[in-house]
Amino acid sequence: MELNDALYSYLSSYSGLTALVSNRIYPDKLPDKCPLPAVTYQLISEEETETFHQPTVDLLAAVYSITVWASTRATANAAGKQLRQAFKNYSGTMGGIGGVSVSAIRKVSRITDIDLTREGAVIAYKDVQDFEIWYSE
């Protein structure tokens, strides 16, 4: 299983998040006319790391940007908090049987934003967080 698939599997089974966004979790971008709230995730970078302690282990560090899209700031903040809770102190096999072995996850950054129409009307409130996921292939 690839990390992208494992991440989707994990997020779509995390009850605190799905209570807010249901199954609206998508790679890269929202589908057209997608109901809100929803979540998108995108791989930003990936780096292979060799360690002195485990030279034969393929340890990688992937940074994912995960965005909550919502019609209110309160909902964006609540779903963003659930993302942080989902990843807090996480290690194990992400994605279940045949999943990806994750050593650690670290929040790199968080920003909030608003998408507006040209006239200034709010399209969506966003909570954008970047997470670094350390995993083995």
CB–CB of 131/105 below 8 Å?
A: yes
107-122 pLDDT, tens digit per residue, is: 999 999 999 889 998 9
Would you say residue 57 has pLDDT above 70?
no
Task: Give the pLDDT score at 59.
Answer: 85
If you ran DSSP here, which 8-state letter would residue 56 be given?
T
Would you say residue 54 has pLDDT above 90?
no
Give all domains of the chain, ordered by start, each with its CATH number.
Answer: 3-136 (3.30.70.1700)
